[in-house]
Amino acid sequence: MKKKMLVTMLVLSLVSAATVINANAESKHYSLRYIVGAPTSEDITSWTKTVTATYQFTSATVESITSGCVVRLYSSNGIEADKSTTSGSVTSRKTKPGVRVTIKASFAKHGTTATQKITGDFIY
């Protein structure tokens, strides 16, 4: 009984510590847009930021994406992925907090609708 209680307390401590560490992570929102036939000045086909890592991993998510589009996600600490859905996130390899990281999102493929949008977040 004591062993079971000790294991439970240990697990709860680890979960609590992980939550506190992750709570310190920061994020940047990206938003891309391509309008068929519009002047290129109306399009936002790529987005790039350089940030200082506050967490041990960088992850990228897709919040919304127009059907037929593909977004290319990149971070200088290990993310290189193309995504066409909102399912799952992409995570980098381990990073030391305080390191400068370049994060990018861009269209890898356009869909067929008149207005195409992709949004999401990088957590770092």
Interval 90-118: pLDDT, tens: 999 999 999 999 999 999 999 999 999 99
User: Which of 17-21, 41-45, 56-60, 61-65 is the least confident region?
Assistant: 17-21
Q: How confident is the model at residue 24 (pLDDT cuts 50, 70, 90)?
A: confident
Mean pLDDT of 85-94: 96
- d(CA 26, CA 52) in angstroms, rounded, equals 9
- What is this structure's pTM? 0.80
Residue 3 has what pLDDT? Answer: 52
